[in-house]
Structures are given as C-alpha cells and as structure tokens.
Amino acid sequence: MKRKEAFNRVERAVQQIPTWLSATGAVLVLALIALWLEADTIQSVRDVVRVLFEHAESIAIVTAVIFFFKEAPNRKAQKHYEAWQVIDHAAAAKVATSYARIQALQDLNEDGVSLRGIHLPGAHLQEIDLQGAILTCADLSHTDLVKANFVNANLSHANLSHANLIDANLRGANLMDADLSYAILGIANLSGVNLMDADLVGANLMDADLSHADLRGATFIDADLRCTDLRQAKNWTLAQIQSARFWEKAIHEPAFWREVSQDAEFNA
C-alpha cells in the first residue's frame, strides 16, 4: 500500500506539468542526444536534419508514450465511472450476488477511491478484499461478508447489523461507533480493532479474536462470547463483559478472573 501511495504521489506531480511542455522537453532532449551521438558525422545543417530524421521514429514513440501517460487520469476517471455504474445498476436491480460489483468495489478501493456512505444492504460480498478501505457511515446491514478482508479499513459509524462476517479479517480496523448488533462474527479476526462505543448487542462472537481490541464503551448485551479471545483487550469493564452471554467461557487473562473474584467478595 505504501509503495502504491508513493507512486500515486509521483503520478500526481507529473500530471501537474502541462502536456505540451512535457512533450516539447522530451523531443528537445532526445534530439540533443541524437545529435551528440552523431556529432562526428555532422558537418552541415543538412547533416543535422538527416540525423533528426533518422531518429524521428524513436522520438515519435517517446512522445506518444508521454501523451499516453498524460491521458492516464482521464482513463482512470472513465474506469471509476464505469465501476460506479456497475455498483449502481446492481443496487437498482436489487441483485444480491454480482461478481462484477465485487470487482468494481475492489478496483475503486485499489485506486484509493473513498467508499464512504456506500449503500449495500443485503448484498452478497463473500471474500471481497477491501483492505484499508474508507467505509465510514456505509450501510452493510444484512450483508454477506463471509471471509471478507477489511484489514485496517475505516468502518467507523458503519451499519453492519445482522451482517454475516464469519471468518472475516478485520484486524486493525476502525469500528468506532459501528452498529454490529446481531452480526455473525464467528471465528472473525478482530485483533487490535477499535470498538469504541460500538453496538454489539446480540452479536455472535463465538471463537472470534478480540485480543488487543479497544472496547471502551462498546455494548455487549446478550452477545455470545463462547471461546472469544479477549486477552490483552483494553478499556473494558467487568459489568460490560458480564452483560454478554457465556462471558465466563471466553478466553480471559488471569487479571480478569482476579477482578471477578474481588467483585464477588465485595458483593458477598
């Protein structure tokens, strides 16, 4: 991702140079190189013209490449327009399963296009790769996201209620204030995620990995925590964890059980 971002910065910088200036500069540089290489054979203006004509094809090819590169933003804009058309048409037709839509979403994300606020309730997006995607305020309720890749994605304030996220990878994702109520998160990787103020009411977190997650203000009422890995999770409270079902069957650190014991003694 860093390499792609660096390339995009260089591309943007090059695109700021006017096309005519880029082409003219390239032609002059190549012409001077050709004349320098043939310096021993140049005796007159006619020889200069001859050398330039002999290298005209190479100069033309390089110039064409420059024009092609400079047109890249227009081609990319057209590509993005077509991708959004695929997504919009699938939504308008209420098509649940669309491999073209999955590819379109992935292409947009790879090009760094924000998917903020996108509306995809009930869509089938199994195994979609949206690593690092910007999905703030997106509506993914009731969406099939089995084995989806949301590593380091921004899903803050997103609606994922009743979504199927079995075996999904959300490692390092931002789920602050996200609605995950009644979502299926069995064996999902939620390691290191930001769940601050997230709604996990009734969520199925069986065998999910919440290690190192930030649980400040998250709601776990009636969530299923069987075999959920909560080791090194931070900013949780005992009342918060105990509001879930099967909280005692989650994987806890010794410090958690010490707090449970102290709480029991205090309330005895």
Q: Please, what's the b/e burial string for 191-217 (b: 16 or more CB within 10 A of its CB; e: otherwise)?
A: bbbbbbbbbbbbbbbbbbbbbbbbbbe
Mark whether 177 and 203 lie in a shared domain.
yes
CA dist., res. 240 & res. 263, Å (int): 13
**Helical segments of the chain, H only:** 2-15, 19-37, 45-54, 56-70, 72-92, 99-110, 238-242, 254-267
Tell me, what's the pLDDT at 50?
Answer: 80
State whether the Cα torsion 92-98-102-108 is positive or negative. Answer: negative
CA dist., res. 134 & res. 111, Å (int): 12
| pLDDT digit string, tens, across residues 75-106 | 788 889 999 999 999 988 888 888 999 999 99
Mark whether 130 and 261 lie in a shared domain.
yes
Give every residue of the chain whose pLDDT is below 70, as ranges: 1-23, 59, 66-73, 264-268
Tell me, what's the pLDDT at 268?
Answer: 52
**Which tokens in the block code for residue 201?**
């009411």
Mark whether 100 and 143 lie in a shared domain.
no
**Which tokens in the block code for residue 134?**
């910007």
Distances (CA, A) of 175 to 56, 100, 223, 264: 58, 27, 17, 32
Mark whether 136 and 94 lie in a shared domain.
no
Mark whether 174 and 154 lie in a shared domain.
yes
Tell me, what's the pLDDT at 5?
Answer: 60
Tell me, what's the pLDDT at 10?
Answer: 56
Are the C-beta atoms of 76 and 111 separated by less than 8 Å?
A: yes
Mark whether 23 and 138 lie in a shared domain.
no
Are the C-beta atoms of 84 and 106 separated by less than 8 Å?
A: no
CA dist., res. 23 & res. 4, Å (int): 26
Mark whether 32 and 161 lie in a shared domain.
no
Mark whether 144 and 267 lie in a shared domain.
yes
DSSP labels for 174-185? B-TT-B-TT-B-
| pLDDT digit string, tens, across residues 2-39 | 555 665 565 666 566 666 566 677 777 777 877 787 88
Mark whether 60 and 26 lie in a shared domain.
yes
Q: What is the CATH number of the domain that holds 218?
A: 2.160.20.80
Q: How many domains does the chain divide into?
A: 3
Range of the domain at 30: 2-70
- Among 59, 84, 113, the domain-final residue is 113
CA dist., res. 23 & res. 179, Å (int): 53
Mark whether 109 and 120 lie in a shared domain.
no
**Which residue type occupies 208?**
A
Mark whether 88 and 122 lie in a shared domain.
no
- Among 113, 136, 166, the domain-final residue is 113
- Among 52, 87, 113, the domain-final residue is 113
* Residue whose entry in the numeric block shows the structure tokens 């995950």: 180
Mark whether 161 and 251 lie in a shared domain.
yes
